[in-house]
Amino acid sequence: MAWTVTYDLEEFRVAAGGFLRTHPARNTTLLTVVSSLTVAGSGRYGDEPPVYGWWTGEGGAVEGAFLCTPPYPPLLSALSGEASRALARILARDGELKVTGVNAGRETAETFATAWEDLTGAVATVEQTHRLYRLDALTPPDPAPPGRPRIATTADRDLLITWYEGFARETGALRDDVAAQVDDKLGHDGITVWELDGRPVACAGISRTIAGMARVSLVYTPPELRGRGYAGAATAAVSGAARAAGVQEVLLFTDLDNPTSNALYQRLGYRPLEDHLLLSFIAAERTVPEQGHPS
């Protein structure tokens, strides 16, 4: 049993792609990040090259994976305790990759963080707790707010960049190039706007479809237009369109500190699947022990 670590995206896709696609809902973020890197190149999220890895079990099958696109923390699939601790040892011992935190399902994140604290003396703090939802039976708002949905076009680009910048300020997300994020989604018709009297009043994005899965994200309404049901209508529209196009797993994440969005998505028919933690590490000077290296 061992980790293989590489800077080669294609090598990672060949080795770990089957594992990730076997569980597309639980590996949604890994799959969508790999898709974005494949389309836009290794510089999609920052100047430093991404790092990838996969865990091979006793029988020779891939049983876990991770990737890291600096400056973002490593993103982990569900891992066994042994695999989590072994990855922490490898990353701590190597030192080439600056590990600022971890993003994973709750159990895996906590196991990795405990190992990291033991190895480095760092202290893990919770930055965000996210809940992954999966669409069950879609229940659009009734009554629906006035207006209609439409696919965003390049004519909406400047407005969407302004909205995404607002989303970034409010949530702390989208630390990468906002314009690139907008262009990426426009490139695959991945943004739906809710339009009232010819004026966009809200938007909802969706990822490319991978292994029958797509994830709704970046749902936004300008502050002055909130409380009128536009975000819910846009989310219902993009979710329904995905289902109509044959997407089997329609997903979204919420911040558990936002009860309004969690209640909204459940009214639309989304059901909880699992919780994820985004942890940050406050570094401390400490020598990493040499014993206990994975074979």
Return d(Cα 153, Cα 228) in angstroms, integer.
24
What is the sign of the dihedral through the CA atoms of 125, 128, 129 and 132?
Answer: negative
Look at residue 175 in the predicted model and tell me its pLDDT.
Answer: 63
Predicted TM-score (pTM) of the model is 0.90
Look at residue 291 in the predicted model and tell me its pLDDT.
Answer: 32
Look at residue 248 in the predicted model and tell me its pLDDT.
Answer: 97
Q: Enumerate residue ranges in the chain where pLDDT < 70.
A: 174-176, 284-295
Look at residue 292 in the predicted model and tell me its pLDDT.
Answer: 31
Look at residue 42 in the predicted model and tell me its pLDDT.
Answer: 83
